[in-house]
Amino acid sequence: MKCCQKIRKLFNKKSGMVFVAVAVSFFMLYYYRSNPNALKVGTQAPDVAFETMDGQKFSLSEYKMPVMLVFFNTQTFLSSGIYTELYLRNVPYLKGIDKANRAKLIIVTDGEQKKDIIREKLSDSRYKVLENYIYLSNIKQAVKDYGLSIWPHFFLIDTNKQILYEAKVPSPGIVDDILDRSQ
């Protein structure tokens, strides 16, 4: 009898509303962080204009090889930093793919797209590994075109500008397998 009363108290109307509010909040957080509107595999990748740190301009459509496009976040808060660390561990592998001419690695960062600000970020020893792979772009438009709600995100795009793979954090093994199959 006492057990039933305790259970009833636990699940009274006020407690039930709190449980529902917490559940909805966690679902919304998960949904937001999973980039539900990100372009899906098989979708045509929108063209994006880039600029190198020395002022040369080019666009995604100019590449006649697969492209690994990374939207990389440096402005981290709480658990977002976990994704940054995972990317920093994977970047040497992605750079190896680029150096082997299997796919071009293009990294764009969040924040202001000014050369001096990007250089300042690259002066941080954690981000040194990104040097020579960071490009400037119209981030607001690119994020909108690619359907991103939160950073980071990865897209592998083939020579026909179709998205072959997209993920919050890329798996180097999957990227390798897809590139092997597409050649």
Q: Fold for domain 49-182?
A: Glutaredoxin (3.40.30)
**What local confidence, expressed as pLDDT, does residue 1 receive?**
57
d(CA 110, CA 72): 7
**What local confidence, expressed as pLDDT, does residue 180 receive?**
92
pLDDT tens, position by position, 21-80: 777 776 666 655 667 788 899 999 999 998 888 888 889 999 889 999 888 766 555 545
Identify the band that residue 10 occupies on the pLDDT scale cut at 50, 70 and 90. Answer: low
Q: What's the one-letter identity of residue 161?
A: K
**What local confidence, expressed as pLDDT, does residue 79 receive?**
45
pLDDT tens, position by position, 74-106: 655 554 556 677 778 888 999 999 999 999 999
**What local confidence, expressed as pLDDT, does residue 77 receive?**
53
The residues spanned by each domain of the chain are 2-33, 49-182
DSSP symbols for 48-109? -EEE-TTS-EEEGGG-SS-EEEEEE--S--TTHHHHHHHHHHHHHHHHHHHHTTSSEEEEEE
pLDDT tens, position by position, 128-174: 888 888 888 888 888 889 988 777 889 999 999 999 999 888 888 99
Q: pTM for the full model?
A: 0.78
Residue 57 exposure: Cα atoms within 13 Å on the Cβ side: 4
